[in-house]
Amino acid sequence: VGVSEGAKLNTDGGFVTKDQEVDEFGHVKLGGIGDHVAKVIENRMGVETRSVTLGHLQRGGTPSAFDRVLGTRLGVHAGHLALNKDFGKMVAMRGTQIVAVELKDAVDKMRELEDSFFDEAAEFLK
């Protein structure tokens, strides 16, 4: 599950904030929605849940045009699933198409990466 730090809650329409600190322009510093969503999932589903806040390393630098369009395409399709109450699915890219995949099918077996994947990734760490 991904959420934006500026996401609004349905309860009162307010923003989730870590605290009420403001920046130099007087805007409330946003944050904490990930922790909130993790707690809601944990309480409703009864499974241990963790929130991860991506740092600069995970964000990977400047996105390419493909990255930007792909993120938008995935978000649009995920939004359509939610609006249509088509739950229990995730969006994925197959070839050049964005498709809905049943969650049970996405996690039905362990998918292992070939060693060559790690060798290629290691090239970026040199």
Percent of the chain with pLDDT over 70: 79
Torsion angle, alpha carbons of 94, 76, 71, 38, to 10: -100
Average pLDDT in the chain: 82
Q: Note the pLDDT tens digit of each residue in 89-105.
A: 999 999 999 999 999 98
3-state SS, residue 103? helix
Per-residue pLDDT band for 35 (boundaries 50, 70, 90) equals: confident
Q: Note the pLDDT tens digit of each residue in 39-52.
A: 888 999 888 888 87
Under 8 Å between Cβ of 105 and 94: no
Instruction: Locate the domains of the chain by residue range.
Output: 1-53, 61-123
**pTM for the complete prediction?**
0.49
Mark out the alpha helices in the chain (DSSP H runs).
33-45, 56-59, 65-83, 103-106, 115-123
